[in-house]
């Protein structure tokens, strides 16, 4: 019990130290440009004692093996339905297209056959700013591979009706839109607010989405795990998410 309290106290301190004031834009990731290292850090350091996928609550182990004990029913039985993946809440394409290397390529982006390429691979190869954004721990969550694949780079929205395609998991993906379960909508909104503030000029939030995210933020306030997760990420990455940190302080979490 004492060790647990000490751990939580450390996380709160890390959160307070890493989170900037609301009068200034929060800094983004400037410590780790490796997406591969980011995924390992999340698995072994952030989620080590919270082994549940973000949308559907399936459990996983330290090797990324899934157990669908949260009511998830695969749409298709395949390897990806049993595989843990790390999903960008704000899709990489959503901010990646703001980089010229993604849209147009770069002279350094040539494959072994001499053929030029562009897109994510080119941006990742030559642009450090893109790599920092792609590896930002605040924007990454554990997801069932099948859900990650079906969500693709679709934006979030409210979808009329309740077509449950994944068992009791209230995740809807239809017409190139995704509607997440109510219990994570606030988490998603606060992540979008952070990414927009930390990386200005990349078109993170469109005008149509802003009111929806504001409603999600109010309708799904922070909980103990979101506060703990943000503290762990702040301790690892060196910067907090003030849209979570401030709410956690106000809620006494």
Is 0.75 topped by the overall pTM?
A: yes
Q: What does the block give as tokens for 179?
A: 């509607």
**Assigned domain for 80 exists:** yes
| Residue 28 predicted with pLDDT over 60 | yes
According to DSSP, the residues that pair with 177 across neighbouring strands are 155, 174
Task: Answer yes or no: is 121 within a domain.
Answer: yes
156-172 confidence digits (pLDDT tens): 999 988 777 899 999 99
Q: Where are the beta strands (DSSP E) in 122-231?
A: 140-144, 155-156, 172-174, 177-179
Higher pLDDT, 49 or 20: 49
Instruction: Please tell me the distance from the alpha carbon of residue 187 to that of residue 219, in angstroms, as a whole number.
Output: 11
Instruction: For residue 98, tell me if it sits in a domain.
Output: yes
**Rounded mean pLDDT, 28-51:** 97
Number of other residues whose CB lies within 10 A of the CB of residue 249 = 16
* 116 occurs within a structural domain: yes
Q: With respect to residue 54, please indicate whether it lies within any of the assigned structural domains.
A: yes
Q: Is residue 251 part of a domain?
A: no
- In this prediction, residue 1 carries a pLDDT of 46
The reply to whether 120 falls in a domain is yes
Domain region containing 123? 23-246
pLDDT tens readout for residues 114-125: 999 999 999 999
pLDDT (average), residues 69-86: 90
pLDDT of residue 253: 86
Work out how many domains the chain is built from and give that number: 1
136 located within any domain: yes
> Per the structure block, which two tokens stand in for 24?
């200034």
- Model pLDDT, residue 24: 53
């Amino acid at each position: 019990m004492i060790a647990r309290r000490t751990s939580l106290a450390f996380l709160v301190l890390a959160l307070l130290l890493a989170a900037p004031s609301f009068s200034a834009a929060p800094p983004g990731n400037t410590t780790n440009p490796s997406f591969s290292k980011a995924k390992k850090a999340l698995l072994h350091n952030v989620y080590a004692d919270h082994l549940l996928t973000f949308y559907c609550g399936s459990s996983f182990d330290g090797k990324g093996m899934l157990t669908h004990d949260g009511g998830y029913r695969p749409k298709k039985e395949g390897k990806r339905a049993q595989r843990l993946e790390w999903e960008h809440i704000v899709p990489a394409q959503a901010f990646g297209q703001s980089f010229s290397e993604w849209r147009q390529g770069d002279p350094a982006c040539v494959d072994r056959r001499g053929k030029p390429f562009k897109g994510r691979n080119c941006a990742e190869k030559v642009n450090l700013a893109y790599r920092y954004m792609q590896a930002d721990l605040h924007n990454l969550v554990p997801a069932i591979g099948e859900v990650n694949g079906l969500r693709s780079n679709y934006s979030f929205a409210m979808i009329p009706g309740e077509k449950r395609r994944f068992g009791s998991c209230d995740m809807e993906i239809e017409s190139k839109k995704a509607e997440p379960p109510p219990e994570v909508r606030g988490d998603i909104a606060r992540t979008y607010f952070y990414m927009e503030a930390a990386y200005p000029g990349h078109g993170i939030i469109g005008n149509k989405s802003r009111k929806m995210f504001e409603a999600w933020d109010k309708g799904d306030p922070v909980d103990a795990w979101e506060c703990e997760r943000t503290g762990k990420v702040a301790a690892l990455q060196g910067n907090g998410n003030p849209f979570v940190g401030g709410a956690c302080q106000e809620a006494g979490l």
